Amino acid sequence: MIIPSRPQPKFNLYKSTPEVIHGVHFYLQGRNALLDCLIRLNLKKGDAILLPSYMCFSSIKPILDYGFKAIYIEPNNDLSYDLELVKSFIEKRIEIKAILLVYYFGLSLEYKKIIDLSTSEGIKVIEDHCHSFLKEFKHFGLNSQVNAKIFSLRKSLPVRDGGVLLISENFNLNNGSTNCLGVFEEFFFYFSRKIEKLFSLININFYSKFFNRIFNLRSNKNRQEFLNYDPCLPSNALTNYLNDKNYLLNCESQIKANYLYLEKKINFLKIKIFRADLAAHSILQAFPLLDEKGGLCDYLRARGVGAWRWPDYELPECINNNSDFPIANLLNQKIVLLPIHQDIGIRDMQYMIKVIKDWIEL
């Protein structure tokens, strides 16, 4: 049985008229939105942004290539932050002009004290909701102390594009006239996803080590610089999904139900749910487990479950295996993410539970 890590797209030939959402601007990916965000907030080359050490390098590579600096701060084991440590960084590193607050996996993390501190020190506050669009879509807006929010809608919806910047009202941007995706790119996305569906139906495990090596080589070989930070027009598919509020509400409802089902079953197993105190009250991108034993992710993938670790091999090189950042490395090794997206059903979850039980009993 194959349990895909992401939902299948619906094929829509038409393009509906997008609702006007003031201050919302589209990009190919979230990383493009982040780069444009820093530029629009008047940061200059050489200025620094305070980032968590537990971070995906590809998401920040464009800002480094442009000329911004990254200063990394370690989170606590539960992804909270020591307020005094944040304060000391801001006071000692005068080049810090902005801070990025990440809502990992869609968890409703509490950042109010850090936002208050940053605002009082004149530091720009950017919230990273790349994992948490479905928690935010019903009330797009900015806290008066938050300068911007960025999103990566492809983490929640079956689309190829989906970078979004929500920025304070005094910035007058438009999405230009260029499409985020060309016709061929959009067609290839649909085609590749249908091949993935076919593989699932005939039980070809594209999560096996063999396919992983192929995908990783392809990813590394074709990695682009992504320095195009101009807003663009969203794809047909993305426009349709955003206009279909019933679809978005059904996604939210299904993901919540999937989480609660798995939570109930997993509570009887000898494995911990990461931040269970927050997860039940969030709309998650994935179901986070703590693998204290080791090997769970590989075991699941070898049996057709599209589980993953984040950021995995994309942890920044200066962080990976660096003893100055033990928590980022620990979280990268131990957190395993199970798919709970809108296409996941009871049979899929029963299979995942069975595989986890088998692994525990090894």
Q: Which residues contact 42 (CB under 8 A, 6 or more apart)?
A: none
- Is the separation of the CB atoms in 163 and 152 below 8 Å? yes
Sheet with strand 163-167: strands edge to edge: 24-27, 163-167, 148-152, 124-128, 96-102, 48-52, 69-73
Q: Please, what is the average pLDDT of the chain? A: 90
* Percent of the chain with pLDDT strictly greater than 90: 75
Domains in the chain, CATH or no CATH each: 24-167 (3.40.640.10), 205-223+231-360 (3.90.1150.10)
Residue 44 vs residues 69, 95, 249, 314: alpha-carbon distances, Å: 10, 10, 40, 26
For residue 139, name the pLDDT band (cuts at 50, 70, 90). Answer: low
- Is the separation of the CB atoms in 341 and 6 below 8 Å? yes
- Mean pLDDT to the nearest integer, 22-43: 91
Q: What is the pLDDT of residue 276?
A: 94
Q: Supply 97's token pair.
A: 């002009």
- pLDDT over 50 (residue 356): yes
Q: What is the pLDDT of residue 224?
A: 52
Interatomic CA distance for residues 307 and 3, integer angstroms: 9
Interatomic CA distance for residues 337 and 307, integer angstroms: 5
> H/E element holding 73?
strand 69-73
Considering only CA atoms, which of 49, 64, 59 is closest in space to residue 124?
A: 49
> What is residue 273's DSSP assignment?
E
Helix, strand or coil for residue 256? helix
What pTM does this model have? 0.93
Q: What is the pLDDT of residue 10?
A: 79
Q: Give the model confidence (pLDDT) of 45-94 as tens digits.
A: 999 999 999 999 999 999 999 999 999 999 999 999 999 999 999 999 99
- pLDDT over 80 (residue 172): no
- pLDDT over 70 (residue 279): yes
Residue 57 vs residues 62, 156, 253: alpha-carbon distances, Å: 9, 20, 32
Q: Give the model confidence (pLDDT) of 142-171 as tens digits.
A: 777 899 999 999 999 999 999 999 988 656
Q: What is the pLDDT of residue 310?
A: 97
What is the number of other CB atoms lying within 10 angstroms of the CB of residue 240? 19
- Is the separation of the CB atoms in 57 and 328 below 8 Å? no
- pLDDT over 60 (residue 22): no
- pLDDT over 80 (residue 223): no
Q: What is the pLDDT of residue 12?
A: 59
- Is the separation of the CB atoms in 248 and 153 below 8 Å? no
Q: What is the pLDDT of residue 202?
A: 95
Buried b (16+ CB within 10 A) or exposed e, 252-279: bebbbebbebbeeebeeeebebbbeebb
Q: What is the pLDDT of residue 197?
A: 93
- Mean pLDDT to the nearest integer, 333-348: 98
Q: What is the pLDDT of residue 225?
A: 54
- pLDDT over 50 (residue 13): no
Q: What is the pLDDT of residue 15?
A: 55
Q: Give the model confidence (pLDDT) of 235-267 as tens digits.
A: 888 888 988 889 999 999 999 999 999 999 999
For residue 18, name the pLDDT band (cuts at 50, 70, 90). Answer: low
DSSP 207-245: TSHHHHHHHHHHHHHT----------BPPHHHHHHHH-H
- In the Cβ-directed half-sphere of 317, how many Cα atoms lie within 13 Å? 1
Q: What is the pLDDT of residue 354?
A: 98
DSSP 88-102: HHHHH-TTEEEEEEE
List residues bridging with 289 in a β-sheet. 273, 336
- Mean pLDDT to the nearest integer, 21-27: 76
